[in-house]
Structure formats: structure tokens, C-alpha cells
């Protein structure tokens, strides 16, 4: 009789653990909105930081204000400044995808796709060169999904 009670208690405890693990609850709206904020604010900080560094470098080279404005508006896409800003912004976007998948807990890739779609729409409405916007949107989508992949791989191993 004693062993029967212990066996019953162990089975109930094991069933409770199975029920808890199979019922994962996430928050897709919270995940998408916070990941969007992380990406927009983080990328803005990176952009402003790169521009400030570039302006201080140009100012120390003897540029006046009108030359600074012209240099900032005509940044070469192959310059080290643009490449470093793109890399740092990519790290922020990768973390945004990671964060979105982490908070979502369920349907991670779907939620990251929604996040990517929102950012793509915002990018197209911001104006600018259409080809450049399309290229950056594709790169940003790949970076979001790589962040989500890192989260999923970490938690399924």
C-alpha cells in the first residue's frame, strides 16, 4: 500500500511536468513590438554615433560646416563608415530577431516574419532609393531570421 501511494505521487508529479512543458505560452504582440523598438532605437543610436565620429574626423581635417553637410549627405556606400554602420546595425537587428523569438516562445519564425514585414513597410515609406531600400530590406530580413535561428537552436539543443 505504501509503495502504491509513492508510485501514484511520482506519476502525478511526472504528468504535471509533462503538462507544464507542453503548454508554452508566449506573447507575440509583445515580442514583435519590443523587437521593433529595440531595432529602431538601437539602429538610430548606431547611425548617430557613426555620423558623429565621421563629422569629428572631417572637422579635424579642416572641413567647414557647409563641407560637412555636403560630405554627410553624399556618403559613399563603399566607405568604411557605411560598412561599419551597416555591420553594427546588423548586430542590433540580429539581436532584435533573437529577442522576438525569445519572447514569442511559439511560432518564432512567423513572428519574426511579421517583424520583418513591418520594418520593410516602414523602410519603403521612408523614401529614398528604391533599389537600395529593397537590398537593405532583404539583408535585414536575413539578419532577423539568423537571430531567431540562434535562439531556436540554443533552446532545442
Cβ(122)–Cβ(36) under 8 Å?
no
Q: Please state, in angstroms and rounded to a whole number, the distance separating the CA atoms of residues 88 and 47.
A: 9
Average pLDDT, the chain: 84
Alpha carbon separation from 33 to 39, 72, 88, 143 (Å, rounded):
10, 31, 21, 17
Q: Please state, in angstroms and rounded to a whole number, the distance separating the CA atoms of residues 14 and 134.
A: 51
Q: Which H helix or E strand runs over 151?
A: helix 130-156
pLDDT tens digits, the chain, 157 residues: what are they? Answer: 545 555 555 555 555 444 444 556 778 999 999 999 999 999 999 999 988 888 888 888 888 888 888 888 887 777 888 888 889 999 999 999 999 999 998 899 999 999 999 999 998 998 878 898 899 899 999 999 999 999 999 988 6
pLDDT number for residue 19 = 46
What does pTM read for this prediction? 0.77
pLDDT number for residue 23 = 56
pLDDT number for residue 9 = 52
Q: Over the stretch 61-85, which tens digit does the pLDDT of each residue have?
A: 888 888 888 888 887 777 888 888 8
Residues ≥6 apart with Cβ < 8 Å to 7: none
Q: Which three cell numbers stand for residue 134?
A: 529593397
- Domain range summary for the chain, segments of one domain joined by +: 26-156
Q: Please state, in angstroms and rounded to a whole number, the distance separating the CA atoms of residues 98 and 118.
A: 16
Residue entry with cell 554602420: 85
Amino acid at each position: 500500500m505504501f509503495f502504491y501511494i509513492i508510485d501514484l505521487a511520482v506519476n502525478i508529479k511526472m504528468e504535471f511536468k509533462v503538462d507544464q512543458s507542453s503548454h508554452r505560452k508566449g506573447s507575440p504582440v509583445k515580442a514583435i513590438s519590443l523587437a521593433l523598438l529595440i531595432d529602431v532605437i538601437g539602429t538610430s543610436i548606431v547611425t548617430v554615433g557613426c555620423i558623429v565620429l565621421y563629422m569629428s574626423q572631417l572637422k579635424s581635417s579642416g572641413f567647414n560646416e557647409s563641407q560637412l553637410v555636403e560630405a554627410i549627405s553624399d556618403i559613399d556606400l563603399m566607405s568604411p563608415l557605411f560598412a561599419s554602420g551597416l555591420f553594427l546595425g546588423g548586430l542590433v537587428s540580429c539581436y532584435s530577431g533573437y529577442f522576438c523569438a525569445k519572447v514569442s516562445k511559439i511560432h518564432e519564425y512567423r513572428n519574426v516574419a511579421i517583424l520583418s514585414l513591418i520594418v520593410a513597410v516602414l523602410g519603403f515609406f521612408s523614401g529614398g532609393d528604391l533599389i537600395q531600400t529593397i537590398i537593405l530590406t532583404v539583408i535585414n530580413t536575413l539578419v532577423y531570421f539568423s537571430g531567431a535561428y540562434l535562439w531556436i537552436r540554443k533552446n532545442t539543443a
